[in-house]
């Protein structure tokens, strides 16, 4: 930025000539005539102009330009109003209109006129009617004009084909020339009361707080001779009541560059004398610092007290005579309802109040050990939001957030304010937010130039912080309450979803889907099979599906996090570091800095950079601990330069505990299901044998989820040359206990039949084996038979039906009849008298054998029964054995809509006949 006087110059061209704003100052000349032609009757004595690019930083630069210009002209009385109005109008131009802004300052004999022009003439302003209502202060548009109407003596808007110009004029107050500040003339009885002589104690303190100088007025006020106190710490004499809103002690106050306020001095008579003090920190020619303290009696504070720029009391009076809350004065009315809006308005007002380049507000955690960035302006907010810094940290005067601090030059103390590292800020003032003596946050304003702030600015900022602390804390508690309610609802829903499945893969997917994007931008789940196994990357999810493969590839190339059982989230920096290195290598290769061809690599740089950005933020790992064992890790990540809120991490920790138990339950269920299914499969017969001249088909359905074998069973097996055995039975009950008897019956049948025993003998010995099981035995219904295909195309069968549903014979003419007589079931009596019956199946005949799960299929009070089964079988004439079994099963399934409650087995045997050979 360049400045200078242009004597007698032409009207300046407001267009920018480069990247930096250009300023011009002019005395009286042709420019004055130009102003007169635009209906301005005042004589223009000087002008200054500057242009600003459409950048966010331009607003702060415009404020500085106007402030410096008016102070240079000696108009400090109207600087604050001019800066506020210029800030709003330039914001409308460079932020909302998106164009460059031209600022012109004109000095006249009766005031200052400031013009702000943008290159968006189509953007109209609200028209004023009889009832002027430009909206509330929260509106993005129109607020600058509302402020003009409130603060300026005159204002207006002018349009040209290429520009829209808003101007305002501030009148100068009448005051004696050369006076910096002045108060009104008052009657004698209204002047501050003092003794016959106002005594000002001058006390000088060295760097150790020891008194080195004590003047005569100090002796008179406090009763100590100089030799009695020199060398003693002032803290031994001071009665420090704590400044309202702060916890600064006398020792801390003596280290500040400037301080002003009230406390007490214990006099020689033992009484405490209330004093008003002004401290100034100086250094001698040798560089040794000390503090000069000026003290007067408290009722004579007008001698030292600096007039406050802001409101001096808790309430002010508006133009209509009504009381106004100082909080509303600082924040604006109406105040934002939400916490984020309130915090953002706070930092913007604080920045404007101290004419800073940036401002930030941090809220304290519940234990007051850390501060979390919640709002900022003029800083890269996406990078800083939710970043955490310790309350007690940093060297020098910024050693604690519990007291006000002024830092003249951050470059002299690197790392003193970690939040501002790399932002270009040089000076900073910070004050605490406190409620009932408890630290709730910290408010800071920073500038790019060093030495911008003193104790006076710290007091102004502390005054504002005291006014907003209670409102901020109330809004924060309201947000926490809403967050806790939402967290409770979230955890209840998560528990229901996790409890609704016992499938491991589905549990992993649910874990990831519940965290993304509610808690994190991306998520990875590692699982550990056993204590001797390494963590395995089992699932990866990102809110952008196109980035999942890149993150999965990146995580597979780095060492997984250590399976530490310590509860809570811990930061894991490996993904962001690996992504950064991968992106750097890809960038170097694409630029040809690593040698070799570049056209093959350039196409892959996009995904690499996208992955680096996706995992470049904070990454945390939460252990998945179930039954005192780490079974995996839940990894949550944010994109570049983002951080997790503490409340989100606490919610993620609660979720990880529930997810760990659900995942371990799914693991146990999967293991037990695999064992059960393996055992059940061992009870099923091998493939059905091929029988010449006889079609055989079996359909089997075990009741119960996950069961492959229940209480029903079947078997078809060769006995000897040309002879085959078949069986279909039903053990009392279902599930594993019934399946145990099923295995006993099926294997015993095969062994006994191959010994050459007859059918009744086989069943009698099986009955004895079942009874030998004692209390574990179950009764069994069984249809057992032996089959011999004949040369004439028929088949001869011998069957024994021990308490089982009777087999049905379907003839070619469609008639259906039982093929056996009922006999006693097995597993009940020791002595059984069983006999076998001979049945001949002619060509085209079908023998259908079923268990009671088929005949007892129910729909309300209706049951399929033997008659219903026979009716279905009559429709199966001419069908193959497979088609007959399938039709029977479809009829059973359609009979009732509910899932079957009993095992079902269907065995169909058919003699095809000579015509089908």
**pLDDT at position 596 over 90:** no
What is the token pair recorded at 553?
């590839």
Mean of per-residue pLDDT scores for the chain: 78
What is the rounded CA–CA span in Å between residue 422 and residue 655?
36
Given pLDDT bands bounded at 50, 70 and 90, which one contains residue 30? very low
Distances (CA, A) of 447 to 1, 79, 184, 215, 379: 17, 18, 35, 39, 11
* Average pLDDT value for residue range 403-417: 81
Residue 381's pLDDT is what? 53
Residue 256's pLDDT is what? 78
Residue 803's pLDDT is what? 92
Q: Tell me which of 75-84, 441-450, 715-724 is least confident.
A: 75-84
pTM of the model: 0.45
Category of 287 on φ-ψ map: left (φ > 0), alpha (ψ -120 to 50) or beta: left
Strands 388-390 and 44-52: what pairing?
unpaired
**pLDDT at position 395 over 50:** no
**pLDDT at position 638 over 70:** yes
Three-state SS letters, 340-360: HHHHHHHHHHHHHHCCCCEEE
Residue 7's pLDDT is what? 34
Residue 210's pLDDT is what? 92
Neighbours of 315 (CB within 10 A): 11
Given pLDDT bands bounded at 50, 70 and 90, which one contains residue 544? confident
**pLDDT at position 37 over 80:** no
Q: Tell me which of 320-329, 383-392, 421-430 is least confident.
A: 320-329
Given pLDDT bands bounded at 50, 70 and 90, which one contains residue 38? very low
Contact 778, 771 (CB under 8 A): no
**pLDDT at position 237 over 60:** yes
Given pLDDT bands bounded at 50, 70 and 90, which one contains residue 543? confident
**pLDDT at position 625 over 80:** yes
Residue 849's pLDDT is what? 95
**pLDDT at position 211 over 90:** yes
Given pLDDT bands bounded at 50, 70 and 90, which one contains residue 707? low
Given pLDDT bands bounded at 50, 70 and 90, which one contains residue 42? low
Contact 4, 24 (CB under 8 A): yes
* Average pLDDT value for residue range 808-825: 92
Residue 566's pLDDT is what? 82
pLDDT tens, position by position, 746-801: 888 999 999 889 999 999 999 988 888 776 667 889 999 999 999 888 999 999 99
**pLDDT at position 276 over 80:** yes
Given pLDDT bands bounded at 50, 70 and 90, which one contains residue 838? very high
Residue 913's pLDDT is what? 66
pLDDT tens, position by position, 63-98: 888 888 887 777 777 888 888 888 888 888 887 777
What is the rounded CA–CA span in Å between residue 589 and residue 601?
7
Q: Tell me which of 69-83, 214-228, 848-862 is least confident.
A: 69-83
* Average pLDDT value for residue range 603-625: 74
Given pLDDT bands bounded at 50, 70 and 90, which one contains residue 455? confident
Q: Tell me which of 140-154, 243-257, 325-339, 695-709 is least confident.
A: 325-339
Q: What percent of the chain has pLDDT over 70?
A: 79
DSSP secondary structure string for all residues of 789-814: E-TTS-EEEEEEEESSPPPEEE-TTS
* Average pLDDT value for residue range 126-137: 44
**pLDDT at position 914 over 70:** no
pLDDT tens, position by position, 478-489: 877 877 787 777
* Average pLDDT value for residue range 875-881: 92
* Average pLDDT value for residue range 263-285: 87
**pLDDT at position 379 over 70:** yes
What does DSSP assign to residue 320? T
* Average pLDDT value for residue range 418-446: 86
Q: Tell me which of 182-186, 339-343, 374-378, 402-406 is least confident.
A: 182-186
* Average pLDDT value for residue range 400-427: 80
Q: Tell me which of 108-122, 584-598, 630-644, 818-832 is least confident.
A: 584-598
* Average pLDDT value for residue range 233-251: 68
Q: Pick the more confident residue, 394 or 501.
A: 501
Residue 182's pLDDT is what? 58
Residue 29's pLDDT is what? 37
Residue 706's pLDDT is what? 57
**pLDDT at position 292 over 90:** yes
Contact 818, 870 (CB under 8 A): no
Q: Tell me which of 51-55, 407-411, 774-778, 795-799 is least confident.
A: 774-778
Residue 649's pLDDT is what? 85
**pLDDT at position 848 over 90:** yes
Residue 842's pLDDT is what? 92
Given pLDDT bands bounded at 50, 70 and 90, which one contains residue 550? confident
Neighbours of 742 (CB within 10 A): 27
Distances (CA, A) of 384 to 328, 363, 644: 28, 13, 11
The four Cα atoms 312, 313, 317, 318 give a dihedral, to 10 degrees, of: 60
Q: Tell me which of 182-196, 229-243, 767-781 is least confident.
A: 182-196
Beta-bridge mates of residue 796: 788, 840
Q: Tell me which of 422-426, 683-687, 849-853 is least confident.
A: 683-687
**pLDDT at position 871 over 60:** yes
**pLDDT at position 315 over 60:** no
pLDDT tens, position by position, 894-908: 988 887 778 888 999
Q: Tell me which of 340-344, 733-737, 813-817, 819-823 is least confident.
A: 733-737
Q: What percent of the chain has pLDDT over 90?
A: 19
Three-state SS letters, 724-764: EEEEEEEECCCHHHHHHHHHHHHHHHHHHHCCCCCHHHHHH
Q: Pick the more confident residue, 306 or 696.
A: 696
Given pLDDT bands bounded at 50, 70 and 90, which one contains residue 26? very low
Residue 40's pLDDT is what? 44
pLDDT tens, position by position, 324-336: 455 555 665 555 6
* Average pLDDT value for residue range 21-43: 44
Residue 775's pLDDT is what? 66
Beta-sheet strands, E only, within 599-671 = 619-626, 629-637
Beta-bridge mates of residue 274: 264
What is the rounded CA–CA span in Å between residue 527 and residue 504?
11
What is the rounded CA–CA span in Å between residue 516 and residue 543?
6
**pLDDT at position 448 over 60:** yes
Residue 93's pLDDT is what? 82
Among candidates 823, 713, 715, 819, which has minimal Cα distance to 760? 823
**pLDDT at position 382 over 50:** no
**pLDDT at position 11 over 60:** no
Residue 598's pLDDT is what? 41
Computed over its alpha carbons, how large is the radius of gyration of the chain?
A: 46
């Amino acid at each position: 930025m360049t400045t200078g006087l242009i004597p007698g110059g032409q009207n300046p061209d407001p267009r920018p000539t480069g990247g930096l704003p250009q300023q011009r100052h002019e005395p009286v000349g042709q420019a004055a005539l130009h102003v007169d032609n635009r209906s301005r009757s005042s004589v223009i004595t000087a002008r200054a102009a500057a242009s600003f690019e459409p950048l966010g930083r331009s607003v702060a630069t415009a404020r500085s330009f106007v402030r410096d210009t008016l102070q240079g002209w000696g108009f400090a009385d109207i600087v604050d109003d001019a800066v506020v109005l210029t800030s709003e109008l330039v914001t409308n131009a460079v932020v909302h209109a998106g164009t460059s802004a031209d600022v012109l300052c004109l000095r006249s004999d009766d005031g200052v006129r400031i013009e702000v022009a943008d290159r968006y003439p189509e953007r109209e302003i609200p028209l004023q009617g009889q009832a002027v209502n430009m909206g509330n202060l929260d509106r993005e548009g129109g607020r600058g004009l509302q402020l003009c109407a409130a603060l300026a003596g005159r204002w207006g808007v002018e349009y040209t084909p290429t520009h829209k110009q808003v101007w305002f004029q501030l009148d100068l107050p009448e005051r004696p020339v050369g006076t910096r500040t002045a108060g009104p003339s008052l009657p004698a009885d209204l002047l501050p009361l003092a003794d016959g002589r106002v005594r000002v104690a001058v006390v000088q303190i060295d760097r150790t707080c020891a008194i080195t100088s004590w003047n005569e007025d100090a002796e008179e006020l406090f009763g100590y001779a100089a030799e009695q106190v020199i060398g003693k710490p002032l803290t031994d004499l001071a009665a420090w009541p704590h400044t309202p809103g702060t916890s600064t002690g006398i020792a801390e106050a003596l280290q500040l560059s400037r301080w002003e306020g009230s406390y007490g001095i214990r006099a020689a008579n033992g009484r405490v004398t209330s004093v008003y003090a002004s401290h100034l920190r100086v250094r001698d020619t040798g560089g040794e610092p000390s503090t000069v303290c000026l003290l007067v009696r408290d009722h004579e504070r007008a001698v030292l007290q600096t007039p406050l720029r802001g409101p001096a009391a808790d309430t002010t009076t508006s133009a209509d005579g009504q009381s106004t809350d100082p909080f509303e004065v600082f924040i604006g009315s109406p105040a934002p309802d939400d916490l984020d809006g309130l915090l953002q308005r706070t930092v913007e007002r604080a920045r404007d109040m101290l004419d800073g380049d940036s401002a930030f507000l941090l809220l304290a955690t519940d234990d007051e050990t850390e501060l979390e960035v919640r709002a900022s302006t003029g800083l890269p907010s996406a990078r800083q939001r939710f970043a955490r810094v310790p309350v007690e940290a940093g060297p020098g005067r910024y050693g604690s957030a519990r007291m006000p601090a002024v830092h003249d030059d951050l470059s002299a103390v690197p790392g003193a304010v970690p939040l501002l590292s790399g932002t270009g800020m040089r000076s900073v003032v910070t004050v605490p937010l406190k409620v009932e003596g408890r630290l709730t946050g910290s408010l800071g304003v920073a500038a790019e130039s060093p030495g911008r702030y003193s104790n006076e600015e710290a007091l102004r900022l502390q005054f504002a912080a005291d006014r907003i602390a209670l409102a901020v804390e109330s809004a924060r508690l309201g947000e926490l309450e809403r967050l806790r309610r939402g967290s409770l609802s979230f955890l209840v829903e998560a528990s229901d979803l996790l409890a609704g499945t016992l499938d491991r893969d589905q549990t992993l997917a649910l874990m990831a889907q519940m965290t993304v994007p509610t808690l994190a931008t991306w998520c990875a789940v590692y699982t550990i099979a056993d204590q001797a196994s390494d963590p395995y990357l089992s699932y990866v999810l990102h809110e952008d599906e196109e980035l999942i493969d890149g993150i999965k590839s990146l995580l597979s190339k780095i060492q997984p996090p250590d399976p530490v059982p310590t509860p809570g989230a811990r930061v894991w920096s490996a993904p962001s570091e690996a992504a950064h290195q991968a992106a750097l290598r890809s960038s170097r290769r694409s630029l040809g800095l690593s040698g070799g061809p570049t056209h093959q690599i350039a196409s892959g740089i996009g995904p690499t950079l996208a992955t680096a950005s996706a995992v470049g933020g904070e990454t945390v790992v939460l252990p998945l601990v179930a039954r005192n064992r780490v079974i995996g890790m839940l990894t949550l990540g944010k994109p570049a330069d983002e951080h997790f809120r503490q409340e989100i991490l606490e919610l993620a920790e609660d979720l990880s505990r529930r997810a760990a138990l659900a995942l371990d339950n799914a693991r146990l269920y999967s293991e037990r299901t695999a064992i059960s299914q393996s055992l059940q499969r061992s009870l099923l017969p091998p493939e059905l044998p091929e029988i010449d001249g006889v079609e055989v088909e079996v359909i089997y359905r075990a009741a119960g989820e996950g069961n492959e074998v229940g209480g029903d069973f079947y078997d078809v097996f060769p006995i000897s040359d040309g002879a085959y055995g078949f069986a279909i039975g039903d053990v009392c009950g279902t599930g594993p206990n019934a399946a145990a008897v099923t295995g006993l019956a099926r294997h015993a049948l095969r062994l006994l039949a191959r010994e050459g025993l007859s059918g009744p003998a086989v069943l009698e010995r099986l009955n004895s084996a079942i009874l030998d099981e004692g209390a574990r035995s179950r009764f069994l219904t069984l249809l057992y038979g032996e089959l011999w295909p004949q040369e004439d195309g028929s088949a001869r069968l011998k069957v024994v039906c021990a308490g089982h549903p009777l087999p049905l014979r379907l003839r070619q003419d469609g008639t259906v009849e039982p093929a056996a007589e009922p006999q006693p079931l097995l597993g009940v009596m020791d002595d059984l008298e069983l006999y076998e019956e001979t049945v001949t199946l002619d060509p085209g005949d079908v023998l259908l054998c079923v268990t009671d799960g088929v005949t007892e299929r129910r729909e309300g009070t209706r049951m399929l029964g033997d008659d219903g089964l026979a009716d279905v079988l009559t429709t199966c004439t001419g069908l193959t054995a497979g088609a007959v079994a399938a039709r029977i099963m479809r009829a059973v399934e359609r009979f009732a809509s509910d899932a079957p409650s009993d095992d079902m087995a269907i065995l169909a045997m058919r003699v095809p006949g000579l015509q089908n050979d």
